[in-house]
C-alpha cells in the first residue's frame, strides 16, 4: 500500500496519508509527521493512527508557490512505540501553473509561524534527537536584517558540541542527502570547523570553539515571495543511546549569520570554496541556538535502575537507585501527578525506601501490597503542546519532571534471575485526566558466579608430599655418607 498519495489541480495538491499503523498490531499509535513539500515549505502535525485500516486516513493540502518539478519528502515518527517507524517514499510532482485557492487544512501546525517582531536567523527541528535516526532542521533567514546593497551574506549551521563526552550527530556523506535549499540559498561547504578556521578568519571565536562541525551557505537578501528556508538532515550518532543512561543531557545547535569583514585576504592559497569567494574574514552579525532535551523519543515516561547487574549472593548488601522521568504531553497544565511504581514486593524491603530527589515538593508516599505511589496535588506542570512551549516562551524541559528514590532488598530475598519494575503515570488538570504506562520496565539482572569444572587436588597433593619426603631422605643419606 502506498502510504502517501496525491491528487492535483495546477498548484493545489491534495495529500492522503494512509496505513501508518502496522498490520500486526491492534494498538492505536501517535505519530509526528513532517513533510517537506519540495518548494521550500513544510507541513508538520501530530496525529493518532487508528487500528482500523479503513479509517486510518489523513487528508490535507498544500498550494505550491513555485512552478516546476518538486520532490515531497516525508518523515513519520511513532512516539509511543519502538516497533520502527513507517518509511514513506519520496514522491516527485510537477506544478505546471499557480492557482489562488486551495482547501484549508484542519490540523494544527506543530511549528508555528515566527512572530512579527522576530529578528535574526531561526532554527527549528522536526523531532527530538534520537540515535540512529534522521532529524530534519529548518533554517529560516527571512528575518535577517540585511541592507539591499549589502556585501555577501553567509548562514552557517554549527553542530556537535566539543564539550560533550559523546558524539551527537553523523553527517550524511552525500550532499544531496544533507540539505535542500530549493534555490533559496547557495551551498558552499561542510566539514570540520578546524578546517574552516584555516581558510577564513572568524573574528568571533565563540562558535568555532564550541562546535566541531559546520555547514555553510551563501544567502541572498530575503525575498517576500520566497520561503527563505533551508532544510538540513542529520543522523543521530549511536553514542546518543549511551548518553541517556547518565544525567539528563541537552543538545545545542546554532544557526549564525555572517558577513564579510574588512580583511578580504585569504589565510592560505588552497583552492577552497572560501578562497574562491575571496573571503578573508567573517563578522558574526546574529545567531540563534536551539536547545533540545535528550530523552527517550518513544517513551515520554520511563523508569531506570542502577546498578542493573549484580552477582548472586550480594542482593541483601546492595541499595538500588531508581530514576523516574515523566512528561506532560498535553496542551494544559497538569495540577495532579501520581506515579505508580510496581516493584517486586517479595524481593524488596519497602520500609527501606529513601527519597533522594524530586522536581516538586516532597510527594505524598503510599505503600501498597503491589506498588509504591508518589502523589502531588496543586502543582503546575506545563504541557509540551501548550502555546507557551510552541511559540518558544517556555523551554520544553519545563514540561518534564524527575523522581529518584533508593531501596534495599530483604535480608533473605527469594531467588530471582531478574527483578522487574514497571511505571504508570497519572496526570490531570481541571478538564481532562490521562493514565499512561511506560513502555519499558527497569530490569535488574542477577548473575551466578562462573561455574568451573571441579578438580580433586588431594591425590596430587599427597603425591607431592611423598615425593618431597623421599627427596629429603635421599638428601640426608647423601650427607650422612659424605660425613663418614
pLDDT digit string, tens, across residues 295-306 = 655 567 888 888
Higher-pLDDT residue of 74 and 481 is 74
pLDDT for 54 equals 42
Q: Is the predicted pLDDT of residue 321 greater than 90, yes or no?
A: yes
User: Given a cut of 60, is residue 337 above it in pLDDT?
Assistant: yes
Q: What is the mean pLDDT of residues 226-242?
A: 86
State which of 69-83, 195-209, 367-381, 453-467 shows the largest mean pLDDT.
Answer: 367-381
Please indicate whether the domains covering 1-107 and 113-297 agree at the CATH topology level: yes
- Please check the confidence at residue 55 and state whether its pLDDT lies above 60: no
Is residue 443 predicted with pLDDT exceeding 90? no
Determine the CATH number of domain 113-297: 2.60.40.680
pLDDT cut 90: percent of the chain above it: 20
User: Domain 302-447, what architecture?
Assistant: Sandwich (2.60)
pLDDT band at 309 (very low <50, low <70, confident <90, very high): confident
pTM > 0.85 = no
Per domain, the residue ranges of the chain are 1-107, 113-297, 302-447
At 86 the pLDDT is 76
pLDDT (mean) for 359-373: 89
- Over residues 180-185, the mean pLDDT reads 86
- Pick the most confident of 49-58, 148-157, 403-412: 403-412
Q: Please give the C-alpha separations between residue 50 and each of 28, 31, 156, 238, in angstroms, as whole numbers.
A: 5, 11, 41, 31
Output 410 or 144, whichever has higher pLDDT: 410
What is the structure's pLDDT at 158? 95
The whole-chain average pLDDT of the chain stands at 79
pLDDT for 291 equals: 79
Predicted confidence (pLDDT) per residue in 370-391, tens digit: 889 999 998 999 887 777 776 6
Fold classification of 1-107 (topology level): Immunoglobulin-like (2.60.40)
Asked whether the predicted pLDDT for residue 276 surpasses 60, the reply is no
Q: Which residues pair with 253 in a beta bridge?
A: 290
Task: Give me 168's grid cell.
Answer: 551527537
Q: Give the span between the Cα atoms of 403 and 363, in whole angstroms.
A: 10
Mean pLDDT of 354-359: 91
Amino acid at each position: 500500500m502506498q502510504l502517501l498519495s496525491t491528487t492535483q489541480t495546477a498548484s493545489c495538491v491534495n495529500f492522503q496519508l494512509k496505513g501508518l499503523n502496522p498490520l500486526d498490531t491492534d494498538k492505536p499509535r501517535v505519530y509526528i509527521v513532517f513533510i517537506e513539500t519540495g518548494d521550500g515549505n513544510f507541513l508538520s502535525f501530530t496525529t493518532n493512527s487508528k487500528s482500523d485500516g479503513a479509517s486510518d486516513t489523513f487528508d490535507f493540502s498544500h498550494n505550491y508557490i513555485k512552478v516546476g518539478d518538486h520532490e515531497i519528502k516525508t518523515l513519520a515518527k511513532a512516539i509511543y512505540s519502538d516497533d520502527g517507524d513507517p518509511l514513506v517514499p519520496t514522491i516527485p510532482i510537477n506544478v505546471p501553473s499557480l492557482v489562488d485557492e486551495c482547501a484549508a487544512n484542519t490540523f494544527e501546525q506543530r511549528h508555528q509561524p515566527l512572530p512579527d517582531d522576530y529578528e535574526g536567523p531561526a532554527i527549528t527541528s522536526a523531532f527530538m534527537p534520537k540515535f540512529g535516526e534522521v532529524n530534519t532542521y529548518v533554517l529560516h533567514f527571512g528575518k535577517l536584517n540585511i541592507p539591499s546593497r549589502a556585501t555577501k551574506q553567509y548562514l552557517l549551521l554549527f553542530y556537535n558540541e566539543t564539550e560533550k563526552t559523546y558524539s551527537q550527530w553523523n553527517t550524511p556523506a552525500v550532499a544531496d542527502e544533507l540539505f535542500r535549499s530549493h534555490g533559496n540559498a547557495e551551498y558552499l561547504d561542510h566539514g570540520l570547523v578546524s578546517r574552516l578556521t584555516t581558510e577564513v578568519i572568524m573574528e568571533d571565536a565563540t562558535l568555532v570553539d564550541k562546535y566541531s562541525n559546520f555547514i555553510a551557505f551563501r544567502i541572498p537578501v530575503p525575498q517576500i515571495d520566497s520561503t527563505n528556508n533551508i532544510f538540513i538532515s542529520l543522523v543521530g550518532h549511536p553514542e546518543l543511546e549511551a548518553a541517556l543512561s547518565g544525567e539528563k543531557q541537552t543538545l545545542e545547535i546554532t544557526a549564525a549569520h555572517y558577513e564579510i569583514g574588512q580583511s578580504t585576504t585569504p589565510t592560505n592559497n588552497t583552492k577552497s570554496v572560501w578562497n574562491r569567494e575571496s573571503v578573508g574574514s567573517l563578522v558574526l552579525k546574529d545567531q540563534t541556538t536551539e536547545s533540545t532535551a535528550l530523552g527517550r523519543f518513544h517513551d515520554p515516561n520511563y523508569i531506570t535502575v542502577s546498578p542493573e547487574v549484580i552477582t548472586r549472593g550480594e542482593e541483601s548488601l546492595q541499595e538500588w537507585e531508581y530514576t523516574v522521568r515523566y512528561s506532560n504531553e498535553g496542551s494544559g497544565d497538569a495540577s495532579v501527578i501520581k506515579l505508580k511504581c510496581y516493584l517486586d514486593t517479595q524481593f524488596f524491603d519497602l520500609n527501606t525506601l529513601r527519597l533522594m530527589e524530586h522536581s516538586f515538593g516532597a510527594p505524598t508516599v503510599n505503600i501498597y501490597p503491589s506498588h509504591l505511589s508518589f502523589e502531588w496535588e496543586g502543582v503546575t506542570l506545563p504541557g509540551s503542546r501548550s502555546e507557551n512551549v510552541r511559540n518558544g516562551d517556555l523551554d520544553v524541559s519545563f514540561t518534564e519532571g524527575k523522581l529518584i528514590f533508593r531501596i534495599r532488598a530483604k535480608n533473605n530475598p527469594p531467588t530471582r534471575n531478574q527483578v522487574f519494575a514497571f511505571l504508570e503515570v497519572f496526570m490531570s488538570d481541571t478538564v481532562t485526566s490521562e493514565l499512561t504506562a511506560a513502555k519499558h520496565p527497569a530490569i535488574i539482572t542477577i548473575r551466578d558466579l562462573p561455574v568451573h569444572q571441579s578438580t580433586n587436588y588431594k591425590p596430587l597433593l599427597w603425591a607431592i608430599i611423598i615425593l618431597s619426603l623421599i627427596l629429603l631422605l635421599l638428601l640426608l643419606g647423601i650427607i650422612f655418607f659424605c660425613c663418614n
